Amino acid sequence: MFTERVYNFSAGPSMLPEQVLKRAASELLNFGGSGMSVMEMSHRSKAYQEIFDETKALLKKVLSVPDTHEVLFMQGGATGQFAAVAMNLIGRTGKADYAVTGNFSKLAAKEAEKYGQVHLSCDTSATGHTTIPAQRELSLSTDASYFHYCANNTIYGTEWSYIPDTPCPLVADMSSNILSRPVDVSKYGLIYAGVQKNMAPAGMAAVIIDRSLAGQELPCTPTILNYKTTIDKDSMYNTPPTYNIYMLGLTLKWVEEMGGVSGMEELRELRAGMLYDFLDNSSLFRGRAEKSARSKMNVTFTTGDPDLDAKFIKEAAGEGLLCLAGHRIAGGMRASIYNAMPVEGVKKLTDLMGKFELANKI
């Protein structure tokens, strides 16, 4: 049992900023003098409409979303978007390009196969998903409706360092690195992100879509996943995930106070630099991803000995450094260092790794 907050290195749901949690706690029973919790408010009420409008405007501001694009809040998380993207966008030509660089992009491609022809522009399975292909290595179709990629791969710890140049609209799953650095939204036809890593509690996806792409959905598209309907109804075709939207608004205010996405980028570089510097100089721990493809959100590493990995994870948990076990597919360790992870958490982790290394020299 812990009497103080721990450092939660989970890949998601992940840490939220302490300042955000305290603000939410202070408003839990009575938001803004309304006499009720946000969780109890009608989504059609004036009080909630103000929360919704402010959150939407803040997301547009923080990410510099151009007027050509619309912000949507949809249920089903990123997994729901695997289907929504294909059903709404693949109909133009019946074909789509997918870059498979990890587990979730593979699942997205598999889901899209239900609705059209999928061409794999790349598949890094042969390398154990430890790499990201260069632009010249992408096999691009001339008649694809869109190109889909996952900007950051949580399980394998890799991240795209560039925006792919494609002849068709670009679609990106940014679930695990959204708000961590500036993004040129104008280069994307659609960006989606499950909010449980850098934005809010689990249960919602934020979608940023070029309005010109909406309205071409397949006839089988459920109304709840229809982008055109969601735009027309301003994300309120049905009751939206009201509390998630409220929490996202609080997080966006915190991001602004911390210097916006540029401030988040500085912190992400600092956290990742500390951890990778340790790994590059360690005689016991080693990183799993190729250096050129390393994620600055999810750092994967191992000792090379499963028993020693398990011992380290147990010792770390005893020190309040939780959820460091790697995904069951990859094993080893994984430190997810999203926006809300304090630099002090990474410092405590590297200090423990140093002590563990000295105590377990082979």
Angstrom distances, CA of residue 278 to CA of 200, 255, 301: 30, 28, 11
User: Comparing C-alpha atoms, which of 118, 180, 116, 127 is closest to residue 151?
Assistant: 180
User: Comparing C-alpha atoms, which of 70, 77, 65 is closest to residue 244?
Assistant: 77
Residues 6+ apart with CB under 8 A from 54: 249
The tens-digit pLDDT sequence of the chain (362 residues) is: 777 899 999 999 999 999 999 999 999 999 999 999 999 999 999 999 999 999 999 999 999 999 999 999 999 999 999 999 999 999 999 999 999 999 999 999 999 999 999 999 999 999 999 999 999 999 999 999 999 999 999 999 999 999 999 999 999 999 999 999 999 999 999 999 999 999 999 999 999 999 999 999 999 999 999 999 999 999 999 999 999 999 999 999 999 999 999 999 999 999 999 999 999 999 999 999 999 999 999 999 999 999 999 999 999 999 999 999 999 989 999 999 999 999 999 999 999 999 999 999 76
Q: Which CATH class is domain 7-14+259-359?
A: alpha beta
Q: How many other CB atoms are found less than 10 A from the CB of residue 288?
A: 22
**Per-residue pLDDT, 362:** 64
Domain boundaries, the chain: 7-14+259-359, 21-257
Task: Give the 3-state secondary structure of residue 185.
Answer: helix
Write down the CATH number for the domain with range 21-257.
3.40.640.10
Cβ distance 82 to 100 under 8 Å? no
**Per-residue pLDDT, 160:** 98
Q: What is the pTM of this model?
A: 0.97
Q: How many other CB atoms are found less than 10 A from the CB of residue 46?
A: 9
